[in-house]
Every structure is written in structure tokens, then in C-alpha cells.
Amino acid sequence: MHAKAPMPPAGEAILAGDIETMRRLAEDGSLLFRKGKAVELRKNIPETVVLGKRTVTRYTDAFRFAYQNGQMEIVRLLIDRGLVDLGPKGDALFMAIARRDFALLDYMLDHGGRFGREGRDITSLLLNLSEVWDEAACPALLAKADLPIRELGGPALCHAAGDGCLAVVRYLLDTGVDINSRGDSQSTPVLRAAKEGRTAMVQFLVERGADLTIHNKFGYRPYTAARANGHMKTARYIQSVEPAVTEEQQDERFKRYRVSDAMRDYFKNGPLLLAFPEGTDPRWIRLFAYTDVPELDCQGHACLALVEDSEDYAVMLLWEPETQKIWFADMEHDIFQAVAAWPDFIRDPGSYVSRAVRWEFD
């Protein structure tokens, strides 16, 4: 058994709701210590927590302790006295967000609370708010914070679309965030929604003017992303509304990319699902249907993306017109290597794919 740590005066005052004692402790510096030039709240108030079969004592600061114990008068006292870090590097604002405490958030902003203004800060803020979104309180809070959401809210819009947070998506669009903003992997909001099979969100974004023809860095557009992830209802909806690529238009594209007649005819007639022998890893890949084959820029090379889906791996095979070869790309590890000419590749695709994913190149 561990001896129970003694409760310091601040802890006793908080538990008793003793505002006068807290004022005195704040005034004489008992709640603070100096670290360089920064004044921080001392973590000197013990609290007992159970971790598995163990009971341990850990220490916290006055604000967190008061807030967790519902001593809101003391919370406001600490804020009034400037004893709470309400800046971008503190966590007080986000504690209030997690508790959906919009009244306290408003109070904090009135007393100097500030969110970060960089893109990553705005994305983090909006992602946290999306989990507790209130149609009245959150827009008012963001208006008071006066952040550059219109300019930097694109990644948050992509996340919200993929998560199906319609209220947040609507707010961001109404604020003026570009509906075709790029997020992770250069995916647009409608592509993120399609990848997750969120048909209603895709429909909403389409009605608001989302471009269904924009590809991400892996060559997927919303239709092919939905199909590759097994969301056929979403794919069918997108197919019913997106501008269709005709075979004649794709013929012209293949001609510009110097694709041979044999390779073009293969993509027209298949088979597009390539199953490989036992022991090959991955066991299969599926090529894009002819009119779905997209253009893709990889390390400054204009290419055609060839693979729609594969087993276990995000296999990227690209047609590079200058070398007249199929190349393998691994965006995460900055790999872009020639694999084979089309006739050699299609004679034994499993061998080439298996070697490529292991980075074994000639």
C-alpha cells in the first residue's frame, strides 16, 4: 500500500469550493512556478486513479483539477487571474471542446483565448469540433476566433466529408472553402466521401458543384475509388451523374501517351483481373477498365495509371510514354522504377509485380 499523498492547500480549497483561499493562493504565487520566462500552473494537486489492478496517485494542476471536479467558480477565477494557458500550445480550450462546454469556450475567448492559425492547427480544431458540433454554438465560436478558415479549411473539409459530418461540411462550404480542396494524397472531399462509401455525402457535394473528374495522386477519381473499396451503390450513383469518358476520347488519350495497339486492345478486351500462381505475393491485381484509365503525374512524369485494385498492396503500375515501359511507383517511399515493356510484362505479370513490390528491379 502506498501512503496517501497529503492534499496541498489548493486541493483542499478546490474541493471545498473555497474561492477566498484560492484568491489568496493565486496572489501569493502558491499556484505557480517559473520556468524560464514562462509562468505555469504547478502540478501539485494529487488525484487517485485506478490502472488495472493498481491504484496510483498522479498530480495535476489547479485548473484541470477544478474543472474535472465541477468547481466552475474557481475555474473562472483562474482564468480571470491569467493563471490558465489559453494559447495555442495549451490544452484548456480543447478540454472545454471535448466536454461540449461552449459557454466556457466563449468565456475563454473573451479572456484572451487563442487557437493556432496555421493550417494544421485549423484542421485539428475543426476535427475536434466535428465530434461535438452544435449548429448554433460552433459557427459563433469560430466567428469569434476569427481564423483563416476560408483559406486553410480545405483539409478539414476533406476529413469531414470522409467522416460523413454533413453539418461541418455545410458550414465550411458556406464559409467559402473550395469544394475541390485537396487533402491527404491530393484527394478532394468528394473523393474521400466516395472512398468511404458515403453516398448521401457524395450526392450533397455533387449538388454543391464538386468535380467528379479530379484524380488523387494514386490515379483514383471518386468513381474508381468507390469501386476499389467495394462501395458499388456509391459507384453506381457517381456513374449516373459524372461526365462519361467515351471510347473515342480514351483512344485519343492512349494515342497521346504512345500506347501500342496491342496494349490498347488488351485494356479494351481484358482480362482485367490478373490472378497469379500459388506462392506469388500479391496473388492478384485488377487493371482499370479502358475508359477508366486515368492520367497521373509522378515525379514530373505524365503517366497513365493502370491498376485499380490489388490484394494486400496498393500496387501502382504506370505507363510512362517516354521510355515506352511500365513503371512501379511507391509514393510513400519515393520509389519510381521501370519494370518492363508491355509485351514482356503481360507474358508474366505475376513475376514482375511480385519483384516490384519487393523493390527488385533490373
**HSE-CB for 202 with a 13 A CA cutoff:** 26
**Is 242 in contact with 234 (CB distance < 8 Å)?**
no
Torsion angle defined by CA atoms of residues 236, 238, 242 and 244, in that order, rounded to the nearest 10 degrees: -30
pLDDT of 333 over the 70 cut:
yes
CA distances from 96 to 34, 41, 116, 151, 245 (A): 26, 18, 16, 26, 50
Tell me which residue has cell 492478384: 284
What is the Cα–Cα distance from 237 to 198, expressed in whole angstroms?
Answer: 11
- How would DSSP label each residue in 180-197? T---GGG--HHHHHHHTT
pLDDT tens per residue, range 47-58? 777 888 888 887
Distance between CA atoms of 92 and 68, rounded to whole angstroms? Answer: 12
> Would you say 286 and 271 are in contact if contact means Cβ atoms under 8 Å apart?
no
Q: Give 8's pLDDT tier (boundaries 50, 70, 90).
A: confident
Confidence at residue 48, expressed as pLDDT on a 0 to 100 scale: 76
Spatial CA neighbour of 306 closest among 345, 248, 358, 355: 345
For residues 159 and 168, give the distance between their C-alpha atoms in angstroms, rounded to a whole number: 10
Q: Nearest Cα to 354, choosing from 284, 270, 303, 304?
A: 284
Mean model confidence pLDDT for the chain = 90
> What's the grid cell of residue 120?
494544421
The domains located in the chain, with CATH, are: 1-84 (no CATH), 86-152 (no CATH), 166-243 (1.25.40.20), 247-357 (no CATH)
Model confidence band, residue 39 (pLDDT cutoffs 50, 70, 90): low
Long-range contacts of 127-134 (CB under 8 A, 24+ apart): 127/156, 127/159, 127/160, 128/94, 128/97, 128/98, 129/97, 129/168, 130/156, 130/159, 130/160, 130/163, 130/165, 130/168, 132/97, 132/98, 132/100, 133/165, 133/167, 133/168, 134/100, 134/102
Q: How far apart are CA 169 and CA 179, in angstroms?
A: 9
Beta bridge partners of 9: none
pLDDT at 31: 75
42 pLDDT above the threshold of 80: no
229-240 per-position pLDDT tens digit? 889 999 999 989
* More confidently predicted of 244 and 178: 178
Q: Is the pLDDT of residue 132 over 60?
A: yes
pLDDT 10s digits, 81-128: 888 889 998 899 999 999 999 999 999 999 999 999 999 999 999 999
**Res 274: pLDDT:** 96
pLDDT reported for residue 151: 96
Main-chain dihedrals φ then ψ at residue 218, nearest 5 degrees: -95, 0
**Beta bridge partner(s), residue 335:** 330
Q: Which helix (H) or strand (E) holds 268?
A: helix 261-269
In this prediction, residue 260 carries a pLDDT of: 96
pLDDT value at position 34?
64
Mapping DSSP onto H, E and C, the string for 37-85 reads CEEEECCCEEEEEEECCEEEEEEECHHHHHHHCCCHHHHHHHHHCCCCC
Residue predicted with more confidence, 230 or 182: 182
Residue range 163-170: average pLDDT? 97
pLDDT band per the 50, 70, 90 thresholds, residue 40: low
pLDDT at residue 286 greater than cutoff 60:
yes
Is residue 311 scored above 50 in pLDDT? yes
pLDDT for 36 equals 59
- Indicate the SS3 state at residue 3: coil
The answer on pLDDT for 4 being more than 60 is no
Q: Is the pLDDT of residue 33 over 70?
A: no
| Selection from 306, 220, 290 nearest residue 251 by Cα | 290
For residues 132-156, average pLDDT:
96
